Amino acid sequence: MSATPNRLALISTRVTEEQSYLEQRSALAYDYVRWFERQGWMVIPVPTSTGAVGPYLDLAGVGLVVLTGGNNVDPALYGGPGRVSQVYPERDRVEYGLIEGALERGIPVWGVCRGLHTINVFFGGSLTQRIEGHVAQDHELVSDHELLGGATCNSFHDQAVRGEDLAPDLRAFAHSPDGLIEALYHPTEPVAAVQWHPERQERAYDSRLLATFLDGRLQT
């Protein structure tokens, strides 16, 4: 599917570290690029090291911001206990900037896995630091949404959002059988997220769910 006007998707990148010498890198898995291109989007990665996200958001044709998975959200942002590995404050800074800038410009924001965590913390929620049984596992989705009821999804995370962690302004619309929030949205802003990885599975509901969100029908 070819990209059309206003079909540029800004996609955040994860931090990886070269082990043989000291160097941090911004990385984007091929699967994200391929999946969003199949949805008709041209992908523009946003480096974690950038000093300003505004110029990216102001590119002509930007119609979507995607917050990707990988790494962990800094517990300091929500008063979480203890220390967590794979924390990079510069990534939190860039993704917060993308959310803030997108809201100012009316650009939809879509979160994937860690992206759901970032969105929840941005709006005043918290995270459960460690859960079991959600790495490289498929499970059923518990949801009243017509696209998700009875569906299954993949799972690749050890941090999570439980009901008590959910930001006051957000609404959950899918859960795992053990009660973790699997999908959420903002009722008045163009913001939504899923805990699973659409780009790692071939399931028709993912494309339809994203389209529903972008048409403004997810919040109704």
Q: What is the pLDDT of residue 27?
A: 95
CA atoms within 13 A on the CB side of 50: 20
Helix (H, G, I), strand (E, B) or coil at 11: strand
What is the reported pTM? Answer: 0.94
Q: How confident is the model at residue 3 (pLDDT cuts 50, 70, 90)?
A: very low
Spans of all domains in the chain: 8-214
Q: Establish whether 153 is a catalytic residue.
A: no
In this predicted model, what pLDDT tens digit does every residue of 43-89 receive, in sequence order? 999 999 999 999 999 999 999 999 999 999 999 999 987 778 889 99
DSSP 184: E
pLDDT, averaged across the chain: 92
Q: Which of 95, 113, 157, 175 is catalytic?
A: 113
Q: How far is CA 101 from CA 53, 96, 152, in A?
A: 8, 8, 33
CA distance 123 to 125: 6
Q: What is the pLDDT of residue 2?
A: 46
Q: Which of 134, 182, 186, 199 is catalytic?
A: 199
Q: Which of 157, 175, 186, 197 is catalytic?
A: 197
Q: Establish whether 140 is a catalytic residue.
A: no
In this predicted model, what pLDDT tens digit does every residue of 141-156 receive, in sequence order? 999 999 999 899 998 8
Q: What is the pLDDT of residue 164?
A: 97
Residue 1 has pLDDT above 70, yes or no: no
The CATH number of the domain covering residues in 8-214: 3.40.50.880
